[in-house]
């Protein structure tokens, strides 16, 4: 069963609480929160204080995607702020196994994200201990980018690995997914779809979510 995870990076920041209530009302399964530090990616978004302030607007899962250098420094803060899943980038952490174990020790689900140019093989040994793998299908840092086609093969590769050693693994895809390609992405093996622009465009959240689900 596919889960839809709207990214609030594409929401109206001046009306963030109401936008979260809107996506909750119209069918979001997960709330995807992109945290950017301006170093790992060339953009800055929001951090712990914002997360604390929006947690009260929904009981849906908070999927916190840390696009930051040395993410272990902030894991506990995000857990305390209400994170249910914390995703760290393989490329941003020298001690990725230690960080995954640390996240899980705090009672939070743990995930690893891979940039488009990073091969799936680097996390082969880690997959049995993960709750989710996030395949970035655009280069991280900005919304509204086009889906990178070769990432479909990476989704299939993760799916094969999960079938061997972790059948409950969530496979999330983030970047350029819309009503025209969502079916292909899910058919490749993804079961959590991040959608920012595709959900919030033109302010028609209800219609956009309905279109995404109908495309499947």
Residues labelled as active-site residues? 34, 174
32 annotated to a ligand binding site: yes
117 annotated to a ligand binding site: no
121 annotated to a ligand binding site: no
211 annotated to a ligand binding site: no
89 annotated to a ligand binding site: no
27 annotated to a ligand binding site: no
162 annotated to a ligand binding site: no
Q: DSSP of the chain, one letter per residue? A: --EEEEBGGGS-GGGHHHHHHHHHHTT-SEEEEEEEBSSSSS-B---HHHHHHHGGG--SEEEEEEESSSGGGGHHHHHHTT-SEEEEEGGG-TTHHHHHHHHHHTT-EEEEEE-TTS-GGGGTTTGGG-SEEEEESS-TT-SSPPPPTTHHHHHHHHHHHHHHH-TT-EEEEESS--TTTHHHHHHHT--EEEESHHHHGGG-HHHHHHHHHHT-
65 annotated to a ligand binding site: yes
Which residues contribute to the annotated binding site? 7, 32, 34, 65, 141-144, 174-176, 196-197
Which residues contribute to the annotated binding site for a divalent metal cation? 32, 34, 65, 174
Which residues contribute to the annotated binding site for substrate? 7, 65, 141-144, 174-176, 196-197
């Amino acid at each position: 069963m596919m889960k839809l995870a709207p990214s609030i990076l594409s929401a109206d920041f001046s009306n963030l609480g109401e936008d979260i209530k809107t996506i909750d009302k119209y069918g979001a399964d997960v709330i995807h929160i992109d945290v950017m530090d301006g170093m790992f990616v060339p953009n800055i978004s929001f951090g712990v204080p914002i997360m604390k302030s929006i947690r009260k607007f929904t009981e849906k899962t908070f999927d916190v995607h840390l696009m930051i250098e040395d993410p272990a420094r902030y894991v506990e803060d995000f857990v305390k702020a209400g994170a249910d899943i914390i995703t760290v980038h393989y490329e941003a952490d020298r001690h990725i196994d230690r960080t995954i174990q640390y996240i899980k020790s705090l009672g939070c689900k743990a995930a690893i994200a891979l940039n488009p140019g990073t091969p799936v093989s680097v996390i082969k040994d880690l997959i049995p201990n993960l709750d989710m793998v996030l395949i970035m299908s655009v280069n991280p840092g900005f919304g509204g980018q086009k889906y990178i086609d070769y990432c479909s093969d990476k989704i299939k590769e993760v799916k094969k690995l999960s079938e061997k050693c972790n059948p409950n693994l969530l496979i999330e895809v983030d970047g350029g997914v819309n009503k025209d390609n969502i079916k292909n992405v899910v058919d490749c093996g993804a079961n959590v779809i991040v959608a920012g622009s595709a959900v919030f465009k033109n302010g028609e959240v209800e219609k956009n979510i309905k279109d995404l689900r109908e495309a499947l």
